[in-house]
Amino acid sequence: MATGNGRLANESWEALFRAHTTLMKRFTAADVWQGITMREYDVLYTLSKCPGPIRLSELHRRHLLSQPALSRMVDRLVERGLVARTTDPHDGRGVRLALTDAGRAEQRRVGGRHAVDVARAMTARLTEEEMETLQALCRRLSGEDTPADPSTPRDEEYSP
């Protein structure tokens, strides 16, 4: 890699990281999380996107929290009736997680307000074309634009 490319790569990463930090601070401070934390919402949102119950390990792949911290958060969400644990039908020792009706309602309630806040933040600084470019670049960086090897399950595939 040429020195210029290395410098540009690091400066690009720093710009992306700073933008993420700035937006996350704004979203965390928003008055939309009543009764739930932003991280708890993220778990509810992730579960709402799954076609069925998933294992904690699958949930962990999508979150920056350590597995013990995520496990404790899931315990709290189960106690509050927002997430349910079910026995894995293919492995009696395994447990799968899914939203309860109350969890789905909470995700939708908070998610609607959060979506408005996200739209305000993004459209205040970016044109529609810039948002489309940003989305494409982020999908490329995360590998979401690459066709999956048929023998390797992708994150969005939830095999039993």
Extract long-range pairs of 73-81: CB within 8 Å, 24+ residues apart: 73/39, 73/40, 73/43, 74/43, 76/40, 77/40, 77/43, 77/44, 77/103
* Domain presence at residue 147: no
The whole-angstrom separation of Cα 77 and Cα 97 is 11
Residue 151 belongs to some domain of the structure: no
Average pLDDT over residues 12-27: 96
pLDDT at 35 over 60: yes
What are the residues whose beta carbons fall under 8 Å from the beta carbon of 98, sequence distance 6 or more? Answer: 47, 50, 52, 53, 54, 83, 84, 86
Please report whether residue 141 resides in a domain.
no
pLDDT of residue 19: 96
How large is the average pLDDT for residues 3-32?
Answer: 93
Q: Give the three-class secondary structure for 105.
A: helix
User: What's the pLDDT score for residue 18?
Assistant: 97
Exposure on the CB side of residue 115, measured as CA atoms within 13 A: 7
pLDDT band at 136 (very low <50, low <70, confident <90, very high): very high
CA 21 and chain centroid, separation: 15
Any idea what the CATH number is for the domain that residue 72 is in? 1.10.10.10
Q: Is residue 68 part of a domain?
A: yes
**Model pTM?**
0.80
Give the DSSP letter of residue 83. E
Q: Is residue 119 part of a domain?
A: yes
What percentage of the chain has pLDDT greater than the value 90?
72
- Confidence label for 154 from pLDDT (cuts 50, 70 and 90): very low
Given a cut of 70, is residue 130 above it in pLDDT?
A: yes
Q: 27 vs 90, which has greater pLDDT?
A: 27
Is residue 55 one of the residues assigned to a domain? Answer: yes
Domain count along the chain? 1
With a cut of 50, say whether residue 157 has pLDDT above it. Answer: no
Residue-level pLDDT at 3: 60
Q: Assess if residue 4 is contained within a domain.
A: no
Residue 39 lies in a domain: yes
pLDDT (tens digit per residue) in 38-91? 999 999 999 999 999 999 999 999 888 888 999 999 999 999 999 999 888 877
pLDDT band at 152 (very low <50, low <70, confident <90, very high): very low
Which residues form the domain of 37? Answer: 27-126
Mean per-residue pLDDT of the chain: 88
Q: For residues 45, 50, 56 and 62, what is the CA-based torsion angle, rounded to 10 degrees?
A: -60
